[in-house]
Amino acid sequence: MKKIMIIGGGAAGMTAAAAAAQNSRKANQKPEICILEHKDIVGKKILSTGNGRCNLTNEVMNSDCYYSECPQIIGQILDKFGREEALKFFQELGIVVKSKKGYYYPRSEQAAAVRELFQIHLEHLGVEVRTNVHVKSIKKAGVHS
Ligand SMILES: Cc1cc2nc3c(=O)[nH]c(=O)nc-3n(C[C@H](O)[C@H](O)[C@H](O)COP(=O)(O)OP(=O)(O)OC[C@H]3O[C@@H](n4cnc5c(N)ncnc54)[C@H](O)[C@@H]3O)c2cc1C
């Protein structure tokens, strides 16, 4: 059983933790995943997104929408996880999505609801969340198989 520690409980860290927990479950293993977050709650930045409404994804999603030194990588990422996958992901979290002029938002237009559903999802998957923890350094203590 691998123990996974994720530093930073933003959108990326929470999504990674949820994916790892789901993979553990598929392998019939108890997830041992912990998020270390130095703010008082996980997903705090989500609260400011889309002017507090959280723009979940967009009708037009391609590599031209991103700045990158390597746009082909953006294309490869979006081929694997584009608009449809994002919408499915949010719907599985329990978010009812609506479209407005090509922008997708939660029907409630409340970024706080998105953050909260992320947190509930992590609890449901058995991910441990430790807040007010600031990671200063990482040391390799040994290699486990
Ligand atoms: C004003 C604004 C509006 C936005 N609107 C939208 C929008 O509508 N739609 C959209 O898709 N995107 C939007 N974005 C972008 C979106 O917020 C980011 O892309 C997203 O939050 C990035 O998530 P992340 O997990 O990579 O990083 P973060 O959300 O920054 O998460 C990183 C986490 O790591 C924690 N952390 C950092 N260092 C440490 C440490 N040493 N120890 C412990 N914890 C640590 C931080 O506290 C933080 O919680 C917006 C951004 C801003 C600023």
Tell me the per-residue pLDDT of 6-63, one tens digit each, with 9 for 90 and over.
999 999 999 999 999 999 999 998 889 999 999 999 999 999 999 999 999 999 998 8
C-beta 10 within 6 A of ligand 1: yes
- Domain edges within the chain: 1-48+111-139, 55-109
Q: How many whole angstroms separate alpha carbon 22 and alpha carbon 41?
A: 22
Mutate to test the pocket of ligand 1, among 36, 49, 55 (most ligand atoms within 8 A of CB): 49
State mean pLDDT over 86-107.
Answer: 95
Torsion angle, alpha carbons of 103, 105, 110, 111, to 10? -80
State mean pLDDT over 89-99.
Answer: 95
Question: Which is it for strands 97-100 and 103-106: parallel, antiparallel or unpaired?
Answer: antiparallel
Q: Give the CATH number of domain 1-48+111-139.
A: 3.50.50.60
